[in-house]
Amino acid sequence: MTRKPLSGKRPLESKPRAIIVGASSGIGAALTRELAHQGYLVAAVARREALLQELCDTINTAVGELVAFPFVHDVTDYEEVPALFQTITHQLGGLDLIAYVAGVQTAVSLDEYNFEKDRQMIEVNLLGAIAWLNQAAIRFAHAGYGHIVGVSSIAGDRGRVGAPVYNASKAGLNTYLEALRNRLSRQGVTVTTIKPGFVDTRLLANAPKTFWVITPEEAAAQIFQAIRRKRQTVYVPARWGLVGLVIRHIPSFIFRRLQI
Amino acid sequence: MIDSEMVVDKKDGKSSMLNGRFEVILPAERWERVPSWGGASFGVSHVYRPSTVEQLQAIFELARRSGRSVGLRGGGNSYGDAAMNDENILLDLRRMTRVLDWDPENGRISLEPGVTLQQLWQYVLEDGWWPPVVTGTMKTTIGGCAAMNVHGKNAWQVGPIGEHILEFDLLLPSGEIITCNREENRDVFFAAIGGFGVLGCFTRITLQLKRVYSGLLDVETCSLPHLDAMFDYFAENVPRSDYIVGWMDAFARGRSLGRGDVHRANYLPPGADPNPSQTLRLDNQHLPDTILGIVPKSIMWLFMRPFTNNLGTRFVNGGKYWAGRLTGVKRYRQPHAAFHFLLDYIPNWKKAYGPGGLIQYQPFVPRENAREAFREILRLCQRRGLPNYLTVLKRHRPDEFLMTHGLDGFSMAMDFRITPGNRERIVALVKELDEIVLAANGRFYFAKDSTLRPQIARAYLGEEAVAKFKALKQRCDPDNLLQTNLWRRIFEP
């Protein structure tokens, strides 16, 4: 038996369609809300079912029609991704945008080398992104259009004493996204790397010192602007760009004496 | 297979996904972007291009196993979403191009569905035959023409193409092939023709062609100053013409509303052409490669682009009308191909409409109401600041096909340029136009459609016809495997 898509398509009244991976809280939830209010149909993918369900119900009630659809999935379940990806595009009736927002940061002390913690960060922050965005890349390359957004972090700009593997996961994500951009831009696909500074989410609980903290809603609004303008790399908020610039250029002989 | 259902309760906005996921992944290299012909929308599908009936059957089996639906696509010349099936399987039938049987004595030909009208007329013309019904472009396939039950500029004389189909084989999604004609499987015959490809896939179509005694047509063109003159011209010339088509300048207002040119043509009777063996040769049918002998036609759309806006088209239409007015009535002989395939005259002309593309709105209105309805429609478009750029008037007759657009009256095809800024206004305008057409007992045509809403379709087709069609759909395709965007939009919203 074939399935009907969740939302019919009328040629002149078609809504853009998006997948948000990591939608149950923080920036992902805020971005799901933002896109839904901006007229998108959104597939919200996340592990925590209750939160996801509540998010979609709230959005659908606020918008007054079905625009957010929950899909429960653990991003480390890589084998599930190709089938789920095709299920979602089928149910949405298309795909214009995918944003990978899932990310974890576990607290590690300065002398801690805990492989289990490290593996989890690499799995969620990097391997999950590769599993999902590879699917999107193949599809968008064949379709000749589409927009891939990876929410990375300013933490990926350098390796620091406090978060070696978190830094490495985000640096890996940055490089992967850059490579996707170089591969796909000639095929009409846009790839945007988002590098937030401190955003008031669960991840912040594990950050030692914070400043310039913005809400996930503010972050989501700025990410949406970056999507609309088809930007390549965007610091959120923009002033972190200056910090990034400085940090990237601190010479190693100084950087290794710092406690940041 | 989907192992469970996505439950959506529309009342309280709750939705839940109960593990309803595809198990079969379709290969990524099958993803393809598929545009509507007008270019105003596009989708992405898993596109397969079978060349044999066995491959077709295998793809239906794959669809069944993988939980996807199958859409059928021929030349892809439907203006809207009739040959699209987003996020599902799309069968592009253009590799099934064999001529299965040809009888040059009686003009009967059996074709695979992917044979284009171009291949067909070029195959039969030297034997003195011509397709009885042709579209404005020769890129359409015979399968697509049958599924949409297309008409030509002679629709009031010979009806749509379905009237010239003697028999077809229809592959059902189950894999079974049934033969349909006016005796055998008669109900399927009259529903699958014009049934926009959701009952089954034509695998063999047998067509009765039209005998011609020359490769030329006698053509007469003239300009007419307003809509009344246009309708009077049709009334006067319909009985004595084989083809008539009117072009209107939708920018003309007031007393000039509906002004334009008409082209009418007649076949040459036997003996009128002193040298038919020459004129029937393909060499003498080709469309010219240049305009005015200088400009290559392949780049012509670039020159049209600056004029494809309200101001430019007003200017071009006015110029075209007055040029016709000044030269008066012209009579000449023209090859069949040159007369019929106006849409192929300027390759890629639709690119002149820009990246937003175009849609066509083509209402069919009974003879007694057409003049007033079309007058109202033209005026309303002008009032809303959305004049259409190309307007074509044709005469029609009723036919027996279940989902037909045919009636004893006229159709007015209108091309609207689509831009990001006018989409909403076009949608609103079309809703108003739909009301005018319905009030005039009008009908619509799926090959051209991008905007029809379910309630409008039910209103003009009648509940009974829709129920009958759905019953046949249930019989031919109980699993609803054959679908298109248009089918879901209009019949399964």
**Structural domain boundaries of chain B?**
216-457
A216-220 mean pLDDT? 94
Give the CA distances from residue B258 to residues B60, B226, B359, in Å, rounded to whole numbers and listed in that order.
48, 5, 20
Provide the pLDDT for residue B438: 97
Residue B482 CA to residue B71 CA, distance in Å, equals 6
* φ/ψ bin of B260: left (φ > 0), alpha (ψ from -120 to 50), beta (otherwise): left
* φ/ψ bin of B149: left (φ > 0), alpha (ψ from -120 to 50), beta (otherwise): left
Chain segment B111-128, per-residue pLDDT in tens: 999 999 999 999 999 999
Q: Do A11 and B483 touch (CB under 8 A)?
A: no
> Does the annotation count A166 as an active-site position?
yes
Q: Do A53 and B16 touch (CB under 8 A)?
A: yes
Chain B residues within an 8 Å CB radius of A95: 44
Residue A157 CA to residue A197 CA, distance in Å, equals 11
* φ/ψ bin of B187: left (φ > 0), alpha (ψ from -120 to 50), beta (otherwise): alpha
> Mind telling me how many Å the CA of A21 is from chain B's nearest CA?
16
Confidence of residue A201 (pLDDT cuts 50, 70, 90): confident
Q: How many CB pairs under 8 A join A and B?
A: 131
Question: Active-site residue among A100, A166, A176, A235?
Answer: A166
Output DSSP code: residue A199.
B
Total residues found in chain B within this entry:
493
One digit per residue, the tens of pLDDT, for chain B of length 493 reads 233 333 333 333 333 333 478 888 999 889 999 999 999 999 999 999 999 999 999 999 999 999 999 999 999 999 999 999 999 999 999 999 999 999 999 999 999 999 999 999 999 999 999 999 999 999 999 999 999 999 999 999 999 999 999 999 999 999 999 999 999 999 999 999 999 999 999 999 999 999 999 999 999 999 999 999 999 999 999 999 999 999 999 999 999 999 999 999 999 999 999 999 999 998 888 777 766 667 777 788 888 888 888 888 998 899 889 988 888 899 999 999 999 998 888 888 888 898 999 999 999 999 999 999 999 999 999 999 999 999 999 999 999 999 999 999 999 999 999 998 999 999 999 999 999 999 999 999 999 999 999 999 999 999 999 999 999 999 999 999 999 999 999 999 8
Chain B residues within an 8 Å CB radius of A6: 6, 8, 15
Residue B374 CA to residue B371 CA, distance in Å, equals 5
**Higher-confidence residue: B369 or A4?**
B369
Q: How many CA atoms lie within 13 A of B35 on its CB side?
A: 14
Number of H helices, E strands in chain B: 15, 23
For tokens 């005796």, the residue is B183
Q: Rounded to two decimals, what is the model's pTM?
A: 0.92
Contact B366, B433 (CB under 8 A): no
Angle, alpha carbons B140-B141-B145 (nearest 5°): 80
Give the CA distances from residue B6 to residues A70, A72, A84, A239, B22, in Å, rounded to whole numbers and listed in that order.
10, 12, 13, 44, 12
Chain segment A108-144, per-residue pLDDT in tens: 898 999 999 999 999 999 999 999 999 999 999 999 9
Does residue A202 surpass a pLDDT of 90?
no
Q: Residue A4 is nearest to which of B15, B43, B488, comparing CB atoms? A: B488
Chain B residues within an 8 Å CB radius of A68: 15
Could you tell me whether strands B216-224 and B358-361 are parallel, antiparallel, or unpaired per DSSP bridges? unpaired
Domains of chain A in sequence order: 15-255 (3.40.50.720)
Q: What is the dihedral of CA B93, B95, B100, B102, to 10 degrees?
A: 100
Interface of B with A in 458-487 (CB under 8 A): 479-481, 483, 485
Chain B residues within an 8 Å CB radius of A89: 44, 87
Residue A26 CA to residue B459 CA, distance in Å, equals 49
Tell me how far apart the terminal alpha carbons of chain A are, to the nearest angstrom.
57
Contact B304, B389 (CB under 8 A): no
Question: Please, what sign has the CA dihedral across residues A56, A57, A58, A62?
Answer: positive
Q: What phi, psi does B48 have (nearest 5°)?
A: -120, 145
Confidence of residue A208 (pLDDT cuts 50, 70, 90): low
Contact B168, B205 (CB under 8 A): yes
Residue A97 CA to residue A228 CA, distance in Å, equals 11
Contact A200, A216 (CB under 8 A): yes
Provide the pLDDT for residue B123: 97
Average pLDDT, chain A: 93
Q: Do B16 and A142 touch (CB under 8 A)?
A: no
Residue A34 CA to residue A97 CA, distance in Å, equals 13
Q: How many CB atoms lie within 10 A of CB A232?
A: 14
Q: Do A3 and B67 touch (CB under 8 A)?
A: yes
Number of H helices, E strands in chain A: 9, 7
Give the CATH number of domain B216-457; options: 3.30.70.2520, 1.10.287.610, 3.40.50.2020, 3.40.50.720: 3.30.70.2520
Provide the pLDDT for residue A94: 95
Confidence of residue A186 (pLDDT cuts 50, 70, 90): very high
Confidence of residue A199 (pLDDT cuts 50, 70, 90): confident
Helix axis angle, B454-461 relative to B423-439, nearest 10°? 20
Alpha-carbon radius of gyration of chain B: 23
Asked if B244 is an interface residue toward chain A (Cβ–Cβ < 8 A), one would say no
Q: How many CB atoms lie within 10 A of CB B332?
A: 10
Provide the pLDDT for residue B6: 37
Provide the pLDDT for residue B293: 66
Q: How many CA atoms lie within 13 A of B76 on its CB side?
A: 18
Provide the pLDDT for residue B20: 72
